[in-house]
Amino acid sequence: MLGPNLFANYGEAVAIILFGIGFSNLLLQKNLIKKIIGLNIMDTAVYLYLAEKGYIDGRVAPIVTNGVQEVGAYINPVPSGLVLTGIVVSVSVTALMLSLTIRLYRRYHTLDLDEISTRLKKEGL
């Protein structure tokens, strides 16, 4: 069942474990801020995974040095661009979630999600 390359792909394995940690934070924490932190951990895991996918042994970052333009000299530049996109989107999403949390806190004076949902039920929404 287990394939041959688990220990060769240790970077990806660490990324997967980080993803799981973030996901369990998302499921198990009640505090909204901690949920957001969990989502950020998941983001970071995805970046790590992409960066690991783009790496090739013994090659350097894709910046042309000394006019060398062979494919064999540089790592894959595409995942780096994807990571850049991901970081920007993650910043925006985090800001949006935090501002929504601030609004919730101003109205309910708590960050506990259970508390907020019981109060919502009390208000009949």
Partner 1 sequence: MKRKDNAFFRWFFGETDTMLGRVEMRPQQEYTETASDIREVMQDSLTQDQTGDEEDFVLIRVFHRLYRVAAVFFCVALIAVLLINVSWLPKNGGADNPVNNEVSARYIESGLQETGAVNIVTGMILDYRAFDTFGESNVLFIATVTVLILLRLDKEKKAPAKKGMPVYQRPKDELTIAQAQSRDRIYEPKNNVILQVVAGFLVPILFIFGIYVILNGHLSPGGGFSGGAIIGAGLILYLNAFGFEKTERFFTEKTYKWVSFFSLTFYCLAKSYSFFTGANHLESGIPLGTPGAILSSGLILPLNICVGLVVACTMYAFYALFRKGGF
Q: Which residues form the interface with partner 1 (CB under 8 A)?
A: 1-6, 8-13, 16-17, 19-20, 23-24, 27-28, 52-57, 61-64, 69-74, 76-81, 84-85, 87-89, 91-93, 95-96, 98-100, 102-103, 106-110, 112, 115, 118-119
Q: b vs e for 53-69, b when ≥16 Cβ sit within 10 Å of the residue's Cβ?
A: ebeeeeeeeeeeeeeee
Taking the complex as a whole, the smallest distance from the CB of residue 18 to partner 1 amounts, in Å, to 10
**Least distance to partner 1, CB of residue 28, Å:** 6
Other CB atoms within 10 A of residue 2 CB: 5
Complex with partner 1: residue 32 or 96, whichever CB lies closer: 96
- Closer Cβ to partner 1, 34 or 53, answer by number: 53
Which residue in 54, 32, 49, 39 sits closest to 101, CA to CA?
32
Residue that has been written with the tokens 């995974």 in this structure: 49
User: Closest separation between CB of residue 39 and partner 1, Å?
Assistant: 14
Q: How far is the CB of 12 from partner 1 (least distance, A)?
A: 5
| Inter-residue contact 19 to 38 (CB < 8 Å) | no
Q: Which is nearer to partner 1, 44 or 54 (CB)?
A: 54
75 token code pair: 């790592």
How many CB atoms neighbour CB 52 within 10 A? 16
